[in-house]
Amino acid sequence: MAEQHLKKDIGFMVALSIVIGTVIGSGVFMKPGVVLGQTSDSTMGLLAWLIGGVITLAGGLTIAEIGAQIPKTGGLNVYLEETYGERWGFLCGWMQTVIYGPAVIGALGLYLGSLIVHLFGMDHAWSTLIGVGFVIFLALVNMIGTKYGGQVQLVSTIAKLLPIALIIVFGLWKGEATIFGVAGSSSMEISFGAAVVATLFAYDGWIMVASVAGEMKNPAKMLPRAIIFGISAVTLVYLLVNLAMLHILPAGEIVKLGENAASTAATLLFGDVGGKLIQIGIIISIFGCLNGKILTFPRIPFSMAERGQLPGSRYLKHVHSTWKTPVMSILSQVVLAIAMMLLADPNQLSDIAVFATFLFYLMAFVAVFILRKRKGNAELPYRVPLYPFVPIVAIVGALFVIVSALTNDVVGSLSVVGITLAGLPIYWLIRRYRTVKSGQVA
């Protein structure tokens, strides 16, 4: 019943800032080289970023209708549980707990380690160890107190806007390289689908605004407006960053530099000292993004554990007596993330995360048709524009992502499916245990 008493304090600007703030993080700096390496030339690379934005916008508008109909604070698993039942809500939460959250944390940690090694001219062999060190450090910060994690988040959010703005303005102004139709030499296999999947890691996070629909003053009007303006703004920023970088560095050089392309471009623009300051800004941005994930992702297993839905729930729901934080849930996510960091590279982890979450995004996009059928001709607080075209675009986009991932990484993708489906027997066992414990079964 507490859901009904949430204060409706979120206005349009706050909702807009949630979209932009949760989406813009590491991907805009880390993925340009990957996207160019998997497309035939720079023009196709820019098109991949645009299509990624269109898929994200269509998905956001579709989820907005679901969020307006189910105005509960929560997230994707709440929508699936309300539409398809407890089993599917559990599976979504299971996937977020054992795959999505740890994979994103692991990818960000590895990206951060790579940038720090590049900044100080260290041997690349140190990057994984440094990345693991930062993951452990931020886990400890967030265990000691949420307020400290929140302060880190505030500083890093401000810091990340500076390198983006400077690279766009000075890159487009001072750059001399040809932007369009330039081939990027790469050892990667050309795959436009894989390129789009790579961009979607950079667009990820948009669903967070729908999860606070229950706290918006007027979700029917505010939610779609925030999603339209927010995702459109992010798409424009991403295109401008890529245009600026292509104007500074040849496409082939961006591919070769990988995650260090943005920092190298900054050095060319502002010299060694200025370039290092921009590099530090990028590092702070990714540091803050990593902190935000470690701050929020453990709340998913914690919430599930409070309902007795996970193995070891009695431990995962434990709140430290002094720090008042879910220490065991934080620890569980970090342990899984570190294991992934030792087994895979950051691009593999980011692709796994996108594939895993799009399996359930697809179900959420289809849910809009199911909910419409249930409601019949009833008045809805918000209807997705251009229905059914926009939801169909979202569904086709999700299928495109899923098929592309399966085609480009069969083993990794099938592993994600297997680990996700492994949640089913766990769900049945836990449900049976709860039933027996409650005395309903002799």
Confidence of residue 441 (pLDDT cuts 50, 70, 90): very low
Contact 113, 305 (CB under 8 A): no
Give the model's confidence band at 112: pLDDT under 50 very low, under 70 low, under 90 confident, else very high. Answer: very high
Answer whether residue 301 shows pLDDT above 50.
yes
Q: Determine which of 64-73, 323-332, 343-352, 384-393 has the lowest per-residue pLDDT on average.
A: 64-73
Q: Give the least confident one: 118-122, 342-346, 379-383, 438-442.
A: 438-442
Cβ distance 331 to 312 under 8 Å?
no
| Residue 362 token pair | 């697809």
More confident residue, 410 or 212: 410
Cα angle vertex 417, ends 416, 423, to 5°? Answer: 95
With a cut of 60, say whether residue 154 has pLDDT above it. Answer: no
Q: Tell which wins on pLDDT, 414 or 7.
A: 414
pLDDT for 158 equals 65
pLDDT tens profile 370-405? 999 888 777 777 788 888 999 999 999 999 999 999
The residue-averaged pLDDT of 43-58 equals 94
Quickly list DSSP for 260-320.
Answer: GHHHHHHHHHHHHHHHHHHHHHHHHHHHHHHHHHHHHTTHHHHHHHHTT-STTHHHHT---
Instruction: Let me know: does 80 contact 67? Beta carbons within 8 Å.
Output: no
Higher pLDDT, 23 or 153: 23
Lowest mean pLDDT among 122-136, 247-261, 288-302: 288-302
pLDDT at residue 377, rounded to an integer: 74
Say what the pLDDT of residue 9 is: 59
Q: What is the mean pLDDT of residues 333-357?
A: 94
Q: Report which DSSP code applies to 211.
A: G
What is the rounded CA–CA span in Å between residue 311 and residue 256? 44
pLDDT value at position 223?
76
Q: Is the pLDDT of residue 209 over 70?
A: no
Residue 147 has pLDDT above 60, yes or no: no
Q: Which of 226, 244, 245 is nearest to 234 (CA)?
A: 226
In this structure, are residues 126 and 113 in contact, taking their beta carbons and an 8 Å threshold? yes
CB atoms within 10 A of CB 343: 10
Cα distance between residue 261 and residue 29, in whole Å:
8
Q: What is the pLDDT of residue 87?
A: 92
pLDDT of residue 430: 86
In tens, the pLDDT along 255-275 reads: 998 888 988 998 999 998 888
The residue written with tokens 């023009």 in the block is 43
Check residue 401 and give its pLDDT.
92
Higher pLDDT, 369 or 376: 369
pLDDT given at position 3: 42
The least confident of 169-183, 281-295, 326-340 is 281-295
| The pLDDT of residue 129 | 96
pLDDT in tens, 25-45: 778 888 999 999 988 889 999
Q: How confident is the model at residue 156 (pLDDT cuts 50, 70, 90)?
A: low
- Structure-token pair, residue 368: 């809009």
* pLDDT of amino acid 213: 61
Tell me, what's the pLDDT at 417? Answer: 95
> Which residue has better confidence, 188 or 425?
425
pTM as predicted: 0.85
pLDDT at 416 over 70: yes
